[in-house]
Amino acid sequence: MIRFAHDQGLPIIMDCKINDIGSTNRAIAEYYYKADFDAVTANPFVGWDEGLQPVFEVARQMDKGIILLVYMSHKGAEEGYGQTVLDSKTKKQVFQYHVFAEKALAWNADGAVVGATYPDKIREMRAILGNDVPIYSPGVGVQGGDVDLAMRAGARYLIVGRTVMLAADPVEALKSIKKVAKQYLEE
């Protein structure tokens, strides 16, 4: 399946949400990169030192990518990603997802996940991330995310697995999504 996708010019992302201690995170990343995945997802909650730093090191050595979770697409995302936390630098209260977006910038992540189900959050994160860290938006279709709203808000990539796979006509579903998304990528 990976070879087929690569033959079609498609990158393959392992949505494994790496979220452990550094040595375990390194092993997870190495395994998936050696299996020919182009990128992995990781949770910035574990921090840098002895957390995600080893993943970034392996990714850079193997010329692979890391996409950080900034705000997920499910209904309960607000409980964790939307909580208010104390920013360690400014000592002000900020949303957790703002901190995660800043980490994506500081750590030079290759992307940030922000759910298509939350176009307002995509817009907020686009203001922080600019063009430096592209936004990947899951939750299109099956979870209620709208292609047009997500792309208009600033998503650069859409994660559409279940929407395509569960469609009566997967090829038509993909064509429909692509038609809407493409107009934003050409601007």
Kindly tell me if the per-residue pLDDT of 155 is higher than 70.
Answer: yes
Domain extent, residue 87, equals 2-160
The confidence score (pLDDT) of residue 4 equals 84
Does residue 115 sit within a domain? yes
Which of the residues are catalytic? 17
What is the pTM for the complete model shown? 0.93
Contact 174, 147 (CB under 8 A): no
Residue 113 resides in a domain: yes
Count of structural domains, the chain:
1
Answer whether residue 187 shows pLDDT above 70.
no
Q: Strands of 157-159's sheet, edge to edge? A: 13-18, 39-42, 65-71, 111-114, 135-138, 157-159
- 105-119 mean pLDDT: 98
Is the pLDDT at 186 greater than 80, yes or no?
no
Element (H, E) at 167: none
pLDDT tens sequence across 56-95: 999 999 999 999 999 999 999 999 999 999 988 889 999 9
The C-alpha angle with vertex 44 and arms to 41 and 47, in degrees rounded to 5, equals 135
* CATH number where 115 lies: 3.20.20.70
| CA dihedral over 186, 71, 162, 119, signed as positive or negative | negative
From the CB of residue 142, how many other CB atoms can be counted at a distance below 10 Å? 16
Q: Report the C-alpha gap between 11 and 26 in whole angstroms.
A: 21
Residue 79 resides in a domain: yes
SS (H, E, C) 47-58: CHHHHHHHHHHH
- pLDDT, one tens digit per residue, over 117-149 is 999 999 999 999 999 999 999 999 989 999 999
Residue 54 lies in a domain: yes
- Residue 131 lies inside a defined structural domain of this protein: yes
Note the pLDDT of residue 1: 76
| Cα–Cα dist 81/27, whole Å | 26
Confidence (pLDDT) at 22: 97
Alpha-carbon 171 to chain mean position: 24
Model confidence at 32: pLDDT above 90 = yes
In a domain, residue 23? The reply is yes
In-domain check, residue 128? yes
* Inside any domain, residue 173: no
